[in-house]
Structure 1
Amino acid sequence: MATSYDPNNVFAKILDGELPSHKVYEDDRTLAFMDVMPRSNGHVLVIPKKPARNLLDAEPEELGYVVGVVQTVAKAVKKAMKADGLTIQQFNEEAGGQVVFHLHFHIVPRYEGQPLRPHTGEFEKPEVLTANAEKIKASLGK
């Protein structure tokens, strides 16, 4: 059963500056940053700044804008990480696999013959996240 938006979720805390992130892209409506528990090198999350629990309660115009940013960042991720392809994931509600209840899209670089790493809860080294973020930022708009 859906509940209301929780302003204390981890992504809201990143937006408020209470928690750090490895930013890849930011504008007045969205933020893209490295997933700290990546399923593949270069795994990025894109979130709206406007509170929305998930796709089901996001305003359509806001959702459309976020998807445009997902496309822009995905192109940069694919190029920067030299990926063969991408998986874009978006989960809704606990039964749908959602863990953080702030609308977000996963951009996961994929490589031929290489399965996704399991979601084990292991954190990536900060220096790896920083290096990957810098590669992706350098590929934006190119």
Structure 2
Amino acid sequence: MMLTALLLLAAAPLEPGVEADPEPSIPLSGQYDPQNAFARIIRGELPVAKVYEDRHLLAFMDRAPISAGHVLIISKTAKARTLLDLPDRDLRRILKLARRVGRAEIDGLGAAGFRLIQNNGYGQSVPHFHLHVVPRYPGAAFNYAKDRAQGLDQLEPVAARIRGALR
């Protein structure tokens, strides 16, 4: 009975005048687009506030952070659109770096913890595998508010603090 009520509630239309906020989405299968924003960042065509870079990986500040210190990690070598395309060796490298970045967010920014977020298809806005490392702060709401884009001048000082705390 309780399950039926929950299912009916979940399927109910929104209140009149309230529309669902459509999530970005990419097809789960398809060709890798070498003109996607992250491929252009790797080639140096779009500027970012870098946190870490080596020959395999790039970590940089999200231009519309959920919280101060929100970092994206991408493979510079894998032409993977989603986790389903990502080779295991790249996944291992990315997760190791995510752990280091999370620790640096705690040590360098005073975060109480961090959250890893990774979307595939539905909810994914750029067709290049990327992992979000989002610092968490006590009392701070966790939401995906719109229109919070920041410039490099705002992101770079936070990136510098994370870089300084990377081990």
Distance 1:22 1:111 in 2: 21
Cα shift readout 1:7-29 (whole Å, capped 9, x = no counterpart): 11100000001100100000110
TM-score by length of 1: 0.92
1:65 aligns to what?
93
Q: Which amino acid in 1 is paired with 2:63?
A: V
Distance 1:129 1:78 in 2: 17
Runs of 4+ off more than 3 Å: none
* Aligned residue pairs, count: 139
Say whether the 8 Å CA contact 1:32–1:45 is kept in structure 2: yes
Quote the offset at 1:122 in angstroms: 2.8
TM-score by length of 2: 0.79
Of the candidates 58, 64, 70, which is equivalent to residue 37 of structure 1?
Answer: 64
1:102 aligns to what?
128
Say whether the 8 Å CA contact 1:84–1:111 is kept in structure 2: yes
Q: Which amino acid in 1 is paired with 2:155?
A: L
Distance 1:17 1:55 in 2: 24
2:153 aligns to what?
127
Distance 2:100 2:59 in 1: 11
Distance 1:119 1:53 in 2: 25
- RMSD of aligned alpha carbons: 1.2
From the CA coordinates, give the structure whose radius of gyration is larger. Answer: 2
Of the candidates 50, 54, 59, which is equivalent to residue 82 of structure 2?
Answer: 54
Q: How does 1:10-25 map to 2 (within 5 A)?
A: 10-25=37-52
2:32 aligns to what?
5
Instruction: Could you tell me which runs of 5 or more consecutive residues in structure 1 were left unpaired when the two chains were aligned.
Output: none
Instruction: Could you tell me which runs of 5 or more consecutive residues in structure 2 were left unpaired when the two chains were aligned.
Output: 1-26
Cα shift readout 1:78-119 (whole Å, capped 9, x = no counterpart): 2111011111101101x2x11111111101111122112424
Cα shift readout 1:45-85 (whole Å, capped 9, x = no counterpart): 01000221111111112211111111111111221110111
Say whether the 8 Å CA contact 1:37–1:119 is kept in structure 2: no
> Aligned residues: percent identity?
40
Of the candidates 67, 76, 80, which is equivalent to residue 108 of structure 2?
Answer: 80
Of the candidates 106, 115, 125, which is equivalent to residue 141 of structure 2?
Answer: 115
2:53 aligns to what?
26
Q: Which amino acid in 1 is paired with 2:74?
A: I
Distance 2:102 2:31 in 1: 29
Quote the offset at 1:120 in angstroms: 0.8
1:138 aligns to what?
164
